[in-house]
Structure 1
Amino acid sequence: MTIEFLKNHHVWDKTKQLLQKYKKEWSGSDVPIFIFPIPSSMFRQGDKNGYSFEDKMFLFLPANISDEELEALFVHEYHHICRLKKTGKRVLEHTLLDSIIMEGLAEHAVLDYCGKQYLLRWNSLYSTEALEKIWIMEYKPNLNVKYGERLHGQLLYGRPFSRPLLGYTMGFYLVDRYRKNNENFSIPSSISVPSEQFII
């Protein structure tokens, strides 16, 4: 059973250790972390997911999750918590721009701390030319769409079958473009950078 595997592999203890590590690295805060096993019948092998608020984290983990995959998921989600705290902007107050930049920064944290092989697979589906075209045509005109509006969800999560998580990919692209033009970029210092600065 999934829960037995997670217990036997000390996932709860490992998650606490990750919290201490990245709390120090990013000057973050203590938050409760809730771990839920995913039955293997519900997801493909290796799938995992998380959701973070300003003051708590939820992790949904499959059986056989590796330590490296656990850390990559933790890094992505805890980065959200640190950014929400440091910007003082709640998720419910986010615009589309805030949301895609938050996802892009979290994935760049995964890139820097865990390695390219742990990035979301959606980040490699589009060419730079295709992303620039989509940015100009679809995202740039809608950056102020508010969280909770239907269009916000459509652009952040994409079309499930044809363009899954396209907003995450767009955020990764924008942050990548920004850091190439800012040689002093670092994950810790970028946590509090306003979303608008990434598109200047």
Structure 2
Amino acid sequence: MRTREIRACYDRDSITVYQAYAPEIGVPAARHGTFVPPFSRSRMTWIKPSFLWLMARSDWARKPGQETILAVRIARAGWEEALGLAVPTDPDRRVFRSSEDWRRRFAEAVVHVQWDPERSLDGRKLEARSIQIGLSRHIVDRYVDDWVLGIEDLTPLARKIQGLHKAGRIPQARALLPKERPYPLTPALTDRIGASEEPTTARRA
């Protein structure tokens, strides 16, 4: 595992990202297989390929406003289009020539990228970083209308995994986690998002 490495469930054509919403948004989205009102296209939406990161963020679908866990399958072409437009939320010197260069590019960005500590099954922060992609209102239409291939409600799975973990049945809980693996990036995308070549031995669960 590398310090900044995208790990995800993906196949030849698609990648799965996760989002947490209140039931009034999440349930219709899963029912229709895409986002429908009251989902807002006028605000930034964040997508994350790490299931455990979202579980920590949403408190396993128990945080108010995040009670519905969605697995959103999107086209890899769309995902990589977003990465190609992304600007990191911090002035990483591996990506930018100067702080001024970062400020200028960030002010114009329609996609944001952020690296946060990955999480273990018990919610501990790990050395490895997990990627979040923020899609601004200027590109959300592309996400909803062109990239989304399907949406599944994973709330029951999230609660089952947490229940097994609380009961001390760790191997059974871990066996139900989505099978994420390193996502291949071109050198250009690696440089664009500030991905890292530094390996780490941190374990995810």
TM, length-normalised to structure 1: 0.22
Higher relative strand content: 2
More RCO (CA 8 Å, sep 6+): 2
More helix by share: 1
